[in-house]
Structure 1
Amino acid sequence: MRNARHRRWTASIVAAAALGLTLSACTGDIAEEEAGDVDCADYESYGTFDGAEVTVAGTILDLEADNLNKSWADFETCTGIDVEYQGSSEFEAQIAVLAEGGNAPDVGIVPQPGLLNRLAGGGWLIPASQAVEDNVDEFWSEDWKTYGTVDGTFYAAPLMASIKGYVWYSPAEFEEKGYEIPKTLDELTTLSETIAAEGDHKPWCVGLESGEATGWPGTDWVEDYMLRLNGPDAYDQWVAHEIPFNDPQVAAAFDAVGGYLKNEDMVNGGIGDVSTQVSEAFQTAGLPILDGECSLHHQASFYETFWNPEGGDDVKVASDGDVFGFLLPPANADDPLSVTGGGEFPVAFRDAEEVEAFRAYLSSDTWANNRVSLGGVISANKGVDPQNASSELLTQSIEILQDPETTFRFDGSDLMPGAVGTDSFWKGIVAWVGGEDTAQVLDTIEGTWPTS
């Protein structure tokens, strides 16, 4: 039955590829080639399995997918479990269809709690084992556990994490021109206006294009401003729809962001006019900073990977390097540190010991340190040594997530119902940047919120 089920899942992926989906097939071959001699002491608790296989799918592609395979190479060697990963840019759109047809992978790496809720509501998910839950209770905060819980049932541990509110810049340009890192949102506005007035280039470069998910980088802007302008309580009320999407507080956040994204004087540095934000891929939008064609780019900590997309080190990410990042500042200099962020959750569609052994490993401090050491990512796992991170910025990011004084809020659109968070909110950003006014866009999004 296992082999027949694997063939059905693989056939579904192949059929998806025939429809034009972008796939990255990263099998255990990479792991096997690079495993070498392994000390299996850290893996004894997971057991040993003869010829077992676990299929995994998610949105992680290319270099990051290669590193994902490397991160569990020793686990494969020591347990005998072959982990087969398939990455697809259409995973989010396809996973519910595959689950409904009985063709889902054993494990799906879900990037949105809202999608996790939908899959749990469909009755397709296997609750997490006690080993997974024990790891989460030891290594993660209660908030993170809540994101993997639906109606009191715990389904998935967190995996990687990101901080969404970084502003990327060139340290050399800041030093040459005497720019200072802004300490408040007003100071950020003043800095942007100063750069615009100098006339060398537009201060901000922005890319909102992401295939079917086009618009999501704009939702990150709004969420950051919603948290900083209105505080965590209002943010939580907005996400839970305890205040409507067209509430004045939400409008204020949109309008503050609009001072940049809808302003021809502010965007789109090195790329074109305001309209080019919608056609410029988020992966490449920050690169004009390297050519001196813009000064500022708002994107998450994971954007570090895109400065060296081939995995090299030509672009140095450091406070004294080619590019670095500062956190979007608070509204007031004495406000507590508040950040938005995201993460992934490995959910299970098959109830089997090897699947839960694999998920227990992914929830451990061993896996988190292994993956962080490979570079380009962070984790909110409290067992991670921040010094294992691949850059100064990522070390700082881990320390921020581990700091009990940090106010952390998960990406709002990822928590909202899919009809809003991954549909009307994304589309609303595109329409808004395209010229629709704030009230019209917010009324439209509010009208899509499910009534039950």
Structure 2
Amino acid sequence: MSAPPTGPAPAAAPRRRRPLAVLAGCLILLAAALVAGVRALGQEPTVTLLANWTGDDERTFRQTVLAPFEREHHIHVDYQGSSAESQVLGADVEAGTPPDVVVLTGPGELAAYARQGQLKQLDGLLPRAGFGASWTTPLDGHVYWFPLKADLKSLVWYPAGTDEQQLAAAARRPGQWCVGMGSGATSGWPGTDWIEDILLQQSGPDVYQRWARGELPWQSTQVKDAWTTWGRMVGAGGDPALVRRALKTPYQDASEPVTRTPRGCMLEHQASFIRNQPSWKKADGRYVPSARLVPGAKADDAWEVSGDLVALLHDTSPAQTLIRYLASADAQRAWAAKEFSFSVNAAAQPAPSAWGAAWHRTLAATLLDDHAVHCFDASDAMPPSVRDAFAEATIEYLAHRDHLDALLKNLDALRRTPDLTWLQSVCDRTS
């Protein structure tokens, strides 16, 4: 609101202007009523969208991404946000009422829907050079999804002021790792992230990709070594208080002990999005590549990545328009800037000065580095039944380290289930 004018009071406005002001106000109200009426009558095109953003994230997404789309294209977006979007989508598909567009984190889940004929091809709707191979993995020769935002996962966060010696010492003590396995219906995924990343760093992209596409057994030496390395690092089956803390703590609260005096833990293996948690903001969190702290790491510049992937279920004109918009540099840039995450669309990158903190700039550069190897989160790329069993197995192993052989045997039996859809590529290149 403008400040009131200073000096002598202005002369009163002539009375003849009042009807014009009233008329203008009436026209504004009429216009608003017409927009509401058009929507109520279903005359304005509508597209339905299901994603996992709720609360503040949903409000930000609506304001920075959806509102500009609605204004420009005169298409209403009926948005539904749910932290249990996989379950919601499954129920909607079963009922025959799926949304027009969905955003999911798992290409493995999307691949299963594509094989069922639920997804529509995006080949002609995406920018030609917008996204790398690990982000738009073809299925049967066609592209069915693309990333709206991306995150880097092969990271270990620590408080500012920690020197190299302190970092190395903390990494050898299970109690210094901030671990939270809780995540509602998807609890256990922080453990899968650990094991996937350890396998990638110890055995390289070739082995990682063979395992992610169902070819390398869970009982193989490489995969078993990744599990046991994680177990030693975080104290699986050890100190009951430590194990109980990890099992009971939601992943978003795992770093809270970092801010205590004395600190309850010092290191967190977690994706780039965790830096926006209050505890890491307070501790001025810094990161090192996980390869520097994983015992036996041999991979050269290999990174696990993840993303929120957009897919099309109804091939309508409004839905196609939304797909093109979400894949555009403008939409990707707007969401990445507000969400404090990243776009892997090279055209969507802001000016270097807009990235702010050094840690943010370096992570953005790593995601776009053509010389690095980027491998998509393996469990997210696996068939949903395998992904879910993997997450449950990490919880069981953390509590009972001696159950590992049985857990890996069960996962191998599940891997051999007929008619599962496995992606043939999860890395943009291998070593």
Task: Please classify the TM superposition score into its range, dividing by the shorter chain length.
Answer: 0.7 to 0.9
**1:218 match:** 191
Confirm or deny that 1:274 pairs with 2:236.
no
3-state SS of the aligned residue for 1:139? coil
Aligned match of 1:360 in 311, 314, 324? Answer: 324
3-state SS of the aligned residue for 2:120? coil
Give the Cα separation in 2 of the matches to 1:430 and 1:332.
Answer: 24
**2:397 match:** 432
Aligned match of 1:349 in 305, 313, 316? Answer: 313
What displacement does 1:171 show?
0.9
Q: Which amino acid counterpart does residue 158 of structure 2 have in structure 1?
A: Y
3-state SS of the aligned residue for 1:405? coil
3-state SS of the aligned residue for 2:180? coil
Give the Cα separation in 1 of the matches to 2:358 and 2:76.
Answer: 34
**1:39 match:** none
Confirm or deny that 1:88 pairs with 2:53.
no
Identity of aligned residues (%): 26
Confirm or deny that 1:340 pairs with 2:304.
yes
Give the Cα separation in 1 of the matches to 2:355 and 2:362.
Answer: 9
**2:12 match:** none
Give the Cα separation in 2 of the matches to 1:324 and 1:264.
Answer: 29
Per the alignment, do residues 181 and 226 of structure 1 end up closer, same or farther by CA in structure 2, a change over 3 Å counting? farther
Per the alignment, do residues 446 and 333 of structure 1 end up closer, same or farther by CA in structure 2, a change over 3 Å counting? closer
Per the alignment, do residues 65 and 305 of structure 1 end up closer, same or farther by CA in structure 2, a change over 3 Å counting? farther
- Encode CA deviations 1:242-267: one digit per residue, 9 max, x unaligned: 111111100011111111223588x8
3-state SS of the aligned residue for 2:311? strand
Aligned match of 2:131 in 134, 137, 140? Answer: 140
Within a 5 Å distance, the mapping from 1:108-127 to structure 2 comes to 108-127=102-121
**2:425 match:** none
**2:101 match:** 107
Aligned match of 2:47 in 42, 45, 54? Answer: 54
Determine if contact 2:203/2:299 at 8 Å carries over to the other structure.
Answer: no
What displacement does 1:431 show?
0.8
Provide structure 2 residue ranges, at least 5 long, that are not aligned to the other structure. Answer: 1-41, 420-431
**2:231 match:** 258
What displacement does 1:337 show?
1.0
Provide structure 1 residue ranges, at least 5 long, that are not aligned to the other structure. Answer: 1-48, 183-187, 197-201, 309-314
RMSD (Å) for aligned C-alpha atoms = 2.4
Within a 5 Å distance, the mapping from 1:136-285 to structure 2 comes to 137-146=128-137, 149-172=138-161, 174=162, 178-180=163-165, 188=168, 190-193=169-172, 202-263=175-236, 272-285=241-254
Q: Which amino acid counterpart does residue 208 of structure 2 have in structure 1?
A: Y
Determine if contact 1:373/1:390 at 8 Å carries over to the other structure.
Answer: no
Q: Which amino acid counterpart does residue 226 of structure 2 have in structure 1?
A: A
Give the Cα separation in 1 of the matches to 2:313 and 2:69.
Answer: 21
TM-score of the two chains, using structure 2 as the length reference: 0.80
- Encode CA deviations 1:289-319: one digit per residue, 9 max, x unaligned: 12222111111001123227xxxxxx647xx
Confirm or deny that 1:380 pairs with 2:344.
yes
What displacement does 1:165 show?
1.8
Give the Cα separation in 2 of the matches to 1:248 and 1:363.
Answer: 41
3-state SS of the aligned residue for 1:142? coil
**2:278 match:** 307
Q: Which amino acid counterpart does residue 451 of structure 1 have in structure 2?
A: P
Deviates more, 1:352-361 or 1:389-398: 389-398
- Encode CA deviations 1:312-358: one digit per residue, 9 max, x unaligned: xxx647xxx62222221256788521110111221122221111111
3-state SS of the aligned residue for 2:102? strand
Determine if contact 1:50/1:81 at 8 Å carries over to the other structure.
Answer: no
What displacement does 1:276 show?
2.4
Give the Cα separation in 2 of the matches to 1:181 and 1:165.
Answer: 20
What displacement does 1:380 show?
1.4
Give the Cα separation in 1 of the matches to 2:75 and 2:98.
Answer: 19
Q: Which amino acid counterpart does residue 381 of structure 1 have in structure 2?
A: N
Determine if contact 1:245/1:443 at 8 Å carries over to the other structure.
Answer: yes
What displacement does 1:150 show?
2.2
Confirm or deny that 1:290 pairs with 2:259.
yes
Give the Cα separation in 2 of the matches to 1:410 and 1:214.
Answer: 19
Aligned match of 1:326 in 284, 288, 293? Answer: 288
**1:43 match:** none
Per the alignment, do residues 67 and 361 of structure 1 end up closer, same or farther by CA in structure 2, a change over 3 Å counting? same
Give the Cα separation in 2 of the matches to 1:381 and 1:181.
Answer: 37
- Encode CA deviations 1:209-264: one digit per residue, 9 max, x unaligned: 11111111000000110000000000011111211111110001111111122358
Determine if contact 2:45/2:76 at 8 Å carries over to the other structure.
Answer: yes
**1:6 match:** none
**2:370 match:** 404
What displacement does 1:277 show?
1.2
Count matched residues: 369
3-state SS of the aligned residue for 2:117? coil
What displacement does 1:50 show?
7.3
Q: Which amino acid counterpart does residue 409 of structure 2 have in structure 1?
A: D
Give the Cα separation in 1 of the matches to 2:272 and 2:49.
Answer: 25
Give the Cα separation in 2 of the matches to 1:225 and 1:84.
Answer: 41
Q: Which amino acid counterpart does residue 154 of structure 1 have in structure 2?
A: V
3-state SS of the aligned residue for 1:57? strand
Q: Which amino acid counterpart does residue 55 of structure 2 have in structure 1?
A: D
Per the alignment, do residues 170 and 264 of structure 1 end up closer, same or farther by CA in structure 2, a change over 3 Å counting? farther
Give the Cα separation in 2 of the matches to 1:116 and 1:296.
Answer: 33
What displacement does 1:143 show?
2.6
Deviates more, 1:285-294 or 1:213-222: 285-294
Structure 1 moving runs of 4+ over 4 Å: 330-335
Q: Which amino acid counterpart does residue 83 of structure 1 have in structure 2?
A: V
3-state SS of the aligned residue for 2:148? coil
Q: Which amino acid counterpart does residue 111 of structure 1 have in structure 2?
A: T
